Amino acid sequence: MMTGQARLLVALGTVGLVFGIVRQQGSAQLASLTLLIWLGFSYSIFSWRLWNCLRSLQVERSIAGRTAPYGPLWAGKKTEVHVRLSCRYPVPAYTSIHDLVGRAAEIEGSASLLLERSKKMVDFRYQVLGQGAGTIAFFGVRCKFVDRTGLFTRVHVIPEMCRVRVLPQFASSSDPRPRIKRSNAIPHQGIHQMQRAGLGSELLDLRDYQIGDPPKSIAWKVSARRDRLMTRQYQSEVPVKINLLVEGGREMWCGHPGERLVDRTAFLVASACRAVVSAGDPLSLSLIGMRQSIYANDLSGERGFYRVLDQLSRFSEQTAPIRAGSSVKCIDSAALLLRYLRPDLFSNWVNPPRARSLNPWPRVRRNRAVRNQFAYAICEHYQLSANDALSLPWDQGLLSEYAARFLAEHQQQTDVEPQPEDSTLRRQEYALRCQRVSNALKQILVRAKDNQVFVIFSSLLDPASPHSDSSLTLVQPVLRTIIGKHHRVCLVTTMPAAGKDALAAAKNAEPWTYHMLRRHAAAILEQEHASEMRNKIRSMGITSVFASASTIVPKILAEAELAGRGRHAGKHTERGVHEPYVST
């Protein structure tokens, strides 16, 4: 490909050659012809060297000192990436090399290198920081070769596609034991303490001596009174199973990686699992998303904890279905990204711009030609059929769907904003989500045996949500059934409490304006609705917690302690909760 300087020299040489032929000036003809021959010879030498280099160029990437297959990374921690290029022939000087990394990772350092002289082996290092749970995509290495004179250039992308899984962060505590006030209230009728015989410190029962019982467990005084050997049995606490249910809607996957609601939810769930596993209790995990659902049962120990982290990572890498419609911004963003990652599909020799428009305006015809070129490049990228290749340039909606799909696959879905949806469709979507939550709770309830704890992470029952009334009405029957079977329920609102922040900001702002008064009034109404919903939830015997790791972990452990001792939900469940938990 010629640069602007090369095109200028070609134009000057052509004009000089024509001028010399017309004017019959031999010096002008000779000079112009010499310039054109020199340009052609320089391009031939550049193409020959580049052809020898590309046919033997190989890329090797190592992440955290490991080559493929790569191990998982941790969100919020830096990891070193080492890229090495080896070639049989020297790589030309003034070559720019750039490693293509997805937007899910924050690059610290420089992921590119500019060669000052020819080398047979090139390597460089940089660090990546996973911003949230999911995957970090490496698309390949982009090399831009430039002639020594700066007249010719060519861009080539070496496909070295790989995806590395990123595990979510979690908050750890020094003491995983629950800290609640010991209540002396007698349990209600039908609720019993979950105890079993074992090696404890408190006496549970006395039974007849059996062969094999240790001599130190014999109750000698009682045996003397009853004239037969009696054995003491000590009580041992039964581990309480924690059932975690995470429900996600469209809003969880909107935003930049690391700032999405699903990243915050993954951090809260991982922190709760870390505390539950440290306390020695088993757990089950149910992840309900827009595209797929993930279930894992009977998890315990360190292996179960890391399995939970892996499932949360797979859940976080999902993308929300974007209804692009006929979005021009979506198509333009996808066209720019595809041209950067696959420049070979936009070559004028392979895919020349085709202007099939009768519009008299040149700008409209040029945009139509670029749109057709992008459509044919998408057909080649996804290997579509010939019929689709003919209809895709003229179908704006289908082209937008393929563009949104391409952006989502390359972690660029934040460039497209979802269009506002109809209120009827929104209510239908909320009803469908509530139905899925109810079905998941019913499946868990069927398998539940003793007193267990149900922890629900969902934005459907968020007290500040305008749809929380209808959502609570749809989920209320199954929640009452769970409580009626002496299980504990803890509701975690994944949405941050924005009403108080907006109210404080409105109070401190001066002078008051009309828009500020409207925001202030909306914040007051939101707080009133939230307090009313909290009262409804607490009247059902459900513990409601805002999304904060320092409050969620003690609450879940307190609920597990109360479920193990068969206590009734009362005011004592709100006392004595300490919050000295620090995020790692």
Can you give the pLDDT at residue 499?
Answer: 45
By three-state DSSP, how is residue 48 classified?
helix
Distance, in Å, from the CA atom of 560 to the CA atom of 314, rounded to the nearest integer, reads 27
Angle at 269 between CA 265 and CA 461, to 5 degrees: 55
Angle at 354 between CA 351 and CA 356, to 5 degrees: 155
Please name the residues in contact with 326: beta carbons below 8 A apart, sequence gap of 6 or more: 396, 397, 400
Check: CB of residue 198 under 8 Å from CB of residue 236: yes
Q: Write out the CATH class of domain 54-171.
A: mainly beta
pLDDT means per 10 residues, the chain with 584 residues, are 87 90 87 91 91 89 86 89 90 89 86 84 90 89 89 89 90 57 45 50 79 87 91 74 86 79 88 86 87 84 91 83 61 86 81 64 75 86 83 82 82 52 68 86 86 83 60 82 86 62 51 62 66 73 64 73 56 34 30
Please name the residues in contact with 485: beta carbons below 8 A apart, sequence gap of 6 or more: 445, 448
Can you give the pLDDT at residue 2?
Answer: 83
Domain 242-319+421-583 has CATH 3.40.50: yes
Mean of all residue pLDDT scores within the chain? 78
Can you give the pLDDT at residue 572?
Answer: 37
Can you give the pLDDT at residue 490?
Answer: 85
pTM of the model: 0.75
Can you give the pLDDT at residue 309?
Answer: 92
Can you give the pLDDT at residue 250?
Answer: 75
Distance, in Å, from the CA atom of 248 to the CA atom of 316, rounded to the nearest integer, reads 10
Can you give the pLDDT at residue 517?
Answer: 66
Check: CB of residue 272 under 8 Å from CB of residue 553: yes
- State pLDDT tens for residues 5-31: 888 999 999 999 898 888 888 888 899
